[in-house]
Amino acid sequence: MTDGPDYGFDTLQIHAGARPDPATGARQVPIYQTTAYVFRDADHAAALFNLQEVGYIYSRLTNPTVAALQERMATLEGGAGAVCCSSGHAAQIMALFPLMGPGKNVVASTRLYGGTITQFSQTIKRFGWSATFVDFDDLDAVKAAINDDTRAVFCESIANPGGYITDLDAISAISDEAGIPLIVDNTSATPYLCRPIEHGATLVVHSMTKFLTGNGTVTGGVIVDSGKFDWSANDKFPSLSEPEPAYHGLKFHETFGPLAFTFHGIAIGLRDLGMTLNPQAAHYTLMGIETLSLRMQKHVENAMEVAGWLETHDAVEAVTYAGLPTSPYNHRVEKICPKGAGGLFTVKLKGGYDACVKFVDSLEIFSHVANLGDTRSLVIHSASTTHRQLSPEQQEAAGAGPSVVRISIGIEDPADLIADLNQALNAVR
C-alpha cells in the first residue's frame, strides 16, 4: 500500500511496506531466506550493478523482507527512505559514514546511552573522527561547539537512561544555521510518540531491538532519511555531492535527489561495511511493529502510574520521568512527545551504590538485563554495566550516576509492578 493522508498510524504500522506475495498470495511478509537473486539476463545484471535499476542482487545489499521493513519505517517516520542494518550501533556508524572524514567531528549530547558515548569518544577515533560532547539544554554551548570541521549534530529524542526530552526544534534551528544535518536517535520514543523529522531532523536512527520489535528476540538498526537536506549546498559532504569513483563518477545527490542518502547507505554503506540485517530479524521486527501503538500506549500509562508512586516512596531521592509534573522536562512533552513521555526513566535511591545493587537483586517481576523497550519490565544499574566504561563525570552528565537505577516499564499489570518495587525497596531499607 502507499502512504496517504487518509491512513492513520495504526493502519500504517500494519500495512506500510506489506503487500500480498505476488507468487503465492501470502498475506504476511515472507521471510526471503536467500543469499542471491537470479538476473533476467546480462543487461539486467549490469543495470542493477550500475544503479540504473532498482532490484535485488545479493542479500548483503538488499532483501525483499528487509525492504518491506525499510518502507514501513520510512513511512512511519515520515521520511523519504530508510536503510536497515544489524543493530542500533551499526545504524549510528552508517549514519555518520557518508558525512565524516579524517579530522571531522560530530557535536553530541552528553545525555546519551553509555555505549554511544563510548563509540563516539573512543571507537570513532580509529577512523580519524572525533566527538564534542555538550549539554544540549545549553543552546549557546551547542552553537559554540560547532566549527568548520563539524559534520553532524547528534542527540536522542528521549534520552537513555534518564528519559530526558530534547528540544529538537531548538537544536535543529542551530544545525540548520550551521548547514549541517541533525541526527536523532528515536529509539526510546519510537515514531508513535515522536517524529523527529517534523522537528527538523535530517536523519533518524533506531535500535529496532527495543520498542519497535518489543519482545527481546532480535537485534536490528535503521537509518531513516528525511530527504530534505541539500547535500550539494556546499563542499562539506563530497560522498553525496561529488563524483563517486566506484560508480564511474555518479553523483548521488544529483542522481537520486531526496533518496541520495538512502541509495548511498545501500550501495556503499552496506556494500563495504557489511552491517546487514538478516531477513529473519526483519520479519520479527515487522510483526512487532504491527502492535507498536498499542504497546506504547500501555508503556506510557504504566510508566506514569509507577513513576508517580516511586516519587512518593521515602527510600527514593528522585525520579527522572518527564511525564511527571515535577520534571523540569515536563513542558516539552506536549511539543515533542504529545502522546506521552515513553516508558524509560531512572530512580535515584537514597542509599547510593549499595542500595541500588540490593534493590536490583531483590526484584522478582523486573528482569535484570542490558536491554530496554521489552513487553517485560526491565531494570539495570547503569553505572556498573551499560555506562561502566565512562568516567564518573561522564556518568553523572549522562544521568547514570552510582546511585541511579534505570527502569524500562513493560506492559504488565501496574499494580503488580508497584508491589514488586515496594518489596524490593523495603528489602533495601
Please report, for the domain that includes residue 343, its CATH number.
Answer: 3.90.1150.10
Instruction: Give the least confident one: 81-95, 195-209, 369-383.
Output: 369-383
Tell me, yes or no, whether 196 and 278 share the same domain.
yes
- Residue that has been written with the C-alpha cell 522536562 in this structure: 329
Q: What is the length of the chain?
A: 429
In-domain check, residue 276: yes
pLDDT of residue 333: 98
As given in the structure block, the three cell numbers for residue 111 are 545525555
Domain termination site, one of 288, 312, 340: 288
Tell me, yes or no, whether 279 and 423 share the same domain.
no
Global confidence as pTM: 0.95
As given in the structure block, the three cell numbers for residue 259 are 533518496
CA neighbours closer than 13 Å in the CB half-sphere of residue 231: 28
What angle (nearest 5°) sits at the alpha carbon of residue 384, between those of residues 378 and 389?
120
Q: Can you give the residue range of the structural domain that contains 25?
A: 15-99+181-288
Domain termination site, one of 240, 263, 288: 288
Domain termination site, one of 263, 288, 313: 288
pLDDT in tens, 376-412: 999 998 877 766 677 777 777 777 788 899 999 999 9
Tell me, yes or no, whether 298 and 274 share the same domain.
no
DSSP at 176: H
Tell me, yes or no, whether 67 and 216 share the same domain.
yes
Tell me, yes or no, whether 259 and 276 share the same domain.
yes
Which helix or strand (DSSP H or E) is residue 25 part of?
none
Domain tally, the chain: 2
Average pLDDT, the chain: 95
DSSP at 404: E
Torsion-angle region of residue 320: left (phi > 0), alpha (psi -120 to 50) or beta? alpha
Instruction: Give one DSSP letter per residue of 4-19, joined into a string.
Output: -TT--HHHHHHHTT--
Tell me, yes or no, whether 265 and 305 share the same domain.
no
- Mean pLDDT for 175-195 is 98
Tell me, yes or no, whether 281 and 375 share the same domain.
no
In-domain check, residue 223: yes
**Quick check: 343 pLDDT over 90?**
yes
Question: For the domain that residue 91 is a member of, what is the CATH number?
Answer: 3.40.640.10
pLDDT in tens, 82-101: 999 999 999 999 999 999 99
Pinpoint the alpha helices (H) of 312-391: 330-336, 352-362
